[in-house]
Amino acid sequence: MVILDAIRRIRKGLRRALKVLARPVRHARGRGGLVIQAYRGYGSHAGVFLMGRVFRGQGSGSGGFEENVGRDILDIGRRLVRRGCANAVLAARFCGAEKKVVTDRDGYFRVLLKPVQPPPADRYWHCMELELISPAGSNVRAEADLFIPRDESRFVVISDIDDTVIFTGVANKIMMLWRLFTQGPRSRIAFPGVAAFYRALHGGAGGDEMNPLLYVSRGPWSLYEVLDEFFNIHGIPVGPILFLRKWNLSLRHPLPRGARGHKLALIREMLSIYNNLPFVLIGDSGQHDPEIYSRVVRENPGRILAVYIRNIEANPMRRRAIGVLAEDVAAAGSILLLAADSFAMAKHAADKGFISPRALSGVLAERMREGEPELRATRSIWRPTPAAAHEAVEQGSLAEKLEGNNADRQKDISPQV
């Protein structure tokens, strides 16, 4: 009986995975021409931003193939070989404003415009109209979802995804898919407690602030639907998911293209659009996040409430980068917390008034339910002055924290909430 249940669960998971992976092509079925695929965007009264792609869809044959596994596999094959439409012209319309944008060589486009009229204040999600103008006669339209916070929102959260929310999901896509669709919320893909922590940040101290959550990743756009499903399964607040690579592989370009500078540019755009709100940055101690966040903190003194870094490895090569981040954070009067535990971040956020103290019990219950009952020691590398932070780095105390030296640990955070 146990074996039969496992087989049924695996079959159901594989079927669900096929549906998600085939979803973009299925939406385009029957058009046989150009298709607009818009990703979720974000904005404020100062401006709105979203990204998308124009590609040429393929006809799918008869409708009798509608709920067939073979059809999904065929759709996934079409998705892998499809090519974007370069130099296509789109018109984007939102709240009385209109702007024309042109796709790049891979068919991707970016829309940044300022509303003429204020967006309706009775909701958070809004629609932008998109119309394909060129090639002429395309007659293709689409709607894109935009998240715009109301006056209750107090801050904006920017979070990395890989090694911050999920365990190296992009580096091990096959294992991520297997665990996500066969194990569901029980899968060890998300860091324990991270979903409850992000829900608490979204709700804020009052529980109803609906603070914007923006996610960035170095993964390919082809993972968009998979991560969207992952967020839904694990109960993580949905928001714009922005990727930094276009993995259009070919014989001439067998390796993924780099994304140098793109993440910093996106974060700068977010800071510009939400120019009246402070920010909370969440990342990990691996590559790129400390360097990028150092730059952001230096460029925006007083706007970064806190920087949370998930300590995923004791790599000596990362000491200096995190040391520079510690100094920059101290110079800007902000806070840096280096922690391997979601509850430690949530405890700090509650102490600082970013989230409701009542949310802590939910974070703790979730991380214990997901199989991590022991709380790890947390190491705060925030110092009250830049000089003290610099001295701590030079004397090696930061290196000790990164390597987990017991002599310099703080007391473990008590699980009693």
Tell me the CA distances in angstroms from 191 to 308, 311, 401, one per residue in order. 14, 12, 21
pLDDT of residue 159: 95
pLDDT tier, 58 (very low <50, low <70, confident <90, very high otherwise): low
Contacting residues for 250 by C-beta, under 8 A, at least 6 apart: none
Report whether 161 contacts 230 (CB < 8 A).
no
Mean pLDDT of 196-201: 96
Torsion of CA 278, 282, 285, 291, to 10 degrees: -40
Burial 154-178 (b: 16+ CB within 10 A, else e): bbbbbbbbbbbbbbebbeeeeebbb
Q: Maximum distance among all alpha carbons in the chain?
A: 71
Q: Is the pLDDT of residue 60 over 70?
A: no
pLDDT of residue 351: 94
Report whether 38 contacts 130 (CB < 8 A).
yes
pLDDT of residue 158: 96
CATH 3.40.50.1000 region(s) of the chain? 156-408
Q: Is the pLDDT of residue 249 over 50?
A: no
Q: Which of 170-184, 220-234, 345-359 has the lowest mean pLDDT?
A: 170-184
Mean pLDDT of 358-378: 75
pLDDT of residue 380: 53
Q: How far apart are the first and last CA of the chain?
A: 41
Q: Which of 66-80, 157-171, 258-272, 315-329 has the lowest mean pLDDT?
A: 66-80
Contacting residues for 224 by C-beta, under 8 A, at least 6 apart: 39, 241, 243
What distance in Å separates the CA atoms of residue 62 and residue 60, rounded to the nearest whole number? Answer: 7
pLDDT tier, 225 (very low <50, low <70, confident <90, very high otherwise): confident
Report whether 211 contacts 150 (CB < 8 A).
no
Residue for token digits 């000491």?
319
What distance in Å separates the CA atoms of residue 254 and residue 249, rounded to the nearest whole number? Answer: 5
Average pLDDT, the chain: 76
**Most confident range, picked from 58-67, 100-109, 216-225, 370-379:** 100-109
Domain spanning 156-408, CATH architecture: 3-Layer(aba) Sandwich (3.40)
pLDDT of residue 89: 96
Mean pLDDT of 207-214: 94
Query: Using one digit for the tens of pLDDT, what is the confidence trace for 275-285?
Result: 999 999 999 88
Mean pLDDT of 64-88: 60
pLDDT of residue 257: 45
* Angle between helices 224-234 and 173-183 in degrees, nearest 10: 40
CATH 2.60.40.10 region(s) of the chain? 2-147
More reliable by pLDDT, 239 or 21: 239
Report whether 35 contacts 53 (CB < 8 A).
no
pLDDT of residue 416: 33
Report whether 285 contacts 338 (CB < 8 A).
yes
Q: Which of 71-75, 129-133, 232-236 has the lowest mean pLDDT?
A: 71-75
Q: Is the pLDDT of residue 98 over 80?
A: yes
**Of the candidates 94, 99, 107, 105, which has an alpha carbon nearest to the alpha carbon of residue 36?**
107
pLDDT tier, 137 (very low <50, low <70, confident <90, very high otherwise): confident
pTM: 0.78
Query: Using one digit for the tens of pLDDT, what is the confidence trace for 45-57?
Result: 889 999 999 988 6
Q: Does domain 2-147 have CATH number 2.60.40.10?
A: yes
Contacting residues for 373 by C-beta, under 8 A, at least 6 apart: none
